[in-house]
Amino acid sequence: MTERKINLPALAAEGSKKVKYAFYQMSKMNVDVSVVESKEIEINEFDSIINNFIEGSIVVASNIVSGVDGMSILCLQRGAALQLVDVLNQVKIGTTGVLKEIDRSAIKETLNILGNSFINAYSKFADQKIILSPPQLYTTSRVSEIFRNFKNKISKQSASSLMFSLKISIIGLEVEAKLYLIFREAITAQLKEAA
Amino acid sequence: MEKKPTILIADDSSFMRKILMGILEESGYSKFIECGTGSECIEKCKSEHPDLVLLDIIMPGMDGLEALKKIGNAVPVLMVSAIGQEKYIEDAKKLGAKGYIIKPFQPNIVLGEIRKVLK
């Protein structure tokens, strides 16, 4: 595979542009999406990150099913997720208290589009076809287990993670979400060259 | 009286099915069938004889491309997916898809593609 230089800030900008468009289409509202922070994280550091997810947070995870070994994990706090559902359902903020099946579907799909926006941006920069599996909602403890299984599967190879900390602003509401893309080291090594 | 077309929407996300139906209802379409997997889509095509299928690519179990192969020319299919990669657009078209819509979709593009197929 030809080594290509990938500029992380440019990738973050491309991904957030796609997310902004996606949220506008789904909510019919002007949305501001900013990447507050983007960085590469070593896989061992990632263990403590997952363990520190606030209990009750909404976590959506997908495996990469084509292109490379990897996974995508999105995390946002439950209160923020409920507010997002209100926006998507175009009801007053604070309406949704208990997530119904369609609300869970709304969150999954929204975060799926968010994850795919960044995966598509990465694919474009890396010139590599990457597809995510259908997203699943998990508890924080379950996602720790899933990540451990994933790490065991690739134990012979080092891996690292890209983290994008996002701030999504809609009609005065600010939602923070963190997106983690986890790849084999050979992939993210391309980013180091461009740093 | 002009017969309204029946549109089968195959997507594992009930939220996205709701969004699509909303777009179509605003434009006058009113007959819908929903399903959440590729295999259900094939069954519905055989039993309900829709006029058009809007088919998601990534679904649990049988994915949309596999379902598209099995549907063949029985009913026109538009692929609907969050994947925005040109290589998959070509794969879908080679398998017989009449068009491709990327999520999140613009209503005018969705309606335009549907009108092209149903004319």
- pLDDT tens profile B12-27: 989 889 989 999 999 9
Q: Are strands A173-184 and A159-170 parallel, antiparallel or unpaired?
A: antiparallel
| Predicted pLDDT of residue B75 | 96
| Predicted pLDDT of residue A195 | 45
Contact check, Cβ <8 Å, A105/B58? no
Would you say A130 and A64 are in contact if contact means Cβ atoms under 8 Å apart? yes
Tokens representing B12?
């594992």
Residues 6 or more apart whose CB falls under 8 angstroms from that of B72 comprise: B96
Of A53 and B46, the one with more pLDDT: B46
CA dihedral defined by B48, B53, B58, B61, rounded to 10 degrees? 20
Contact check, Cβ <8 Å, A108/B88? no
Q: How far apart are CA A30 and CA A172, in angstroms?
A: 11
Tokens representing A111?
């975060």
Give yes or no for B82 touching A (CB within 8 A): yes
| Predicted pLDDT of residue A92 | 87
Mean pLDDT of chain A: 80
Residues of B in contact with A132 (CB under 8 A): 58
Residues of A in contact with B58 (CB under 8 A): 131-134
Residues 6 or more apart whose CB falls under 8 angstroms from that of B33 comprise: B6, B7, B8, B9, B44, B48, B50
Kindly tell me the burial class for residue A129, based on how many C-beta atoms sit within 10 Å of its own C-beta (0-12, 13-18, 19 or more): middle
| Predicted pLDDT of residue B77 | 97
B82-104 per-residue burial string, b: 16 or more CB within 10 A, e: under 16? bbbbeebbebbeebebbbbbbbb
Q: How many alpha carbons lie under 13 Å from residue A122 in its C-beta half-sphere?
A: 27
Contact check, Cβ <8 Å, A106/B103? no
> Is residue A131's pLDDT more than 70?
yes
Kindly tell me the burial class for residue B77, based on how many C-beta atoms sit within 10 Å of its own C-beta (0-12, 13-18, 19 or more): buried
Would you say A47 and A143 are in contact if contact means Cβ atoms under 8 Å apart? no
Candidates B11, B12, B13: best to mutate against A (most CBs of A within 10 A) is B13
Tens of pLDDT, residue by residue over B21-69, are 999 999 999 999 999 999 999 999 999 999 999 999 888 889 899 999 9
**Nearest-CA neighbor of A71 among A170, A141, A15, A154?**
A154
Residues of A in contact with B105 (CB under 8 A): 25
Residues 6 or more apart whose CB falls under 8 angstroms from that of A38 comprise: A8, A9, A11, A12, A162, A163, A164, A165
Kindly state the average pLDDT of the residues A45-73: 83
What number is the ipTM of this complex? 0.77
Kindly state the average pLDDT of the residues B89-107: 87
Would you say A138 and B47 are in contact if contact means Cβ atoms under 8 Å apart? no
| Predicted pLDDT of residue A1 | 44
Q: How many alpha carbons lie under 13 Å from residue A107 in its C-beta half-sphere?
A: 30
Would you say A10 and A162 are in contact if contact means Cβ atoms under 8 Å apart? no
Give yes or no for B108 touching A (CB within 8 A): no
CB < 8 Å from A in window 3-62 of B: 12-16, 18-19, 58-60
Tens of pLDDT, residue by residue over A104-121, are 888 888 778 888 888 888
User: Residue A194's pLDDT band (boundaries 50, 70, 90)?
Assistant: very low
Q: What percentage of chain B reaches a pLDDT higher than 90?
A: 65
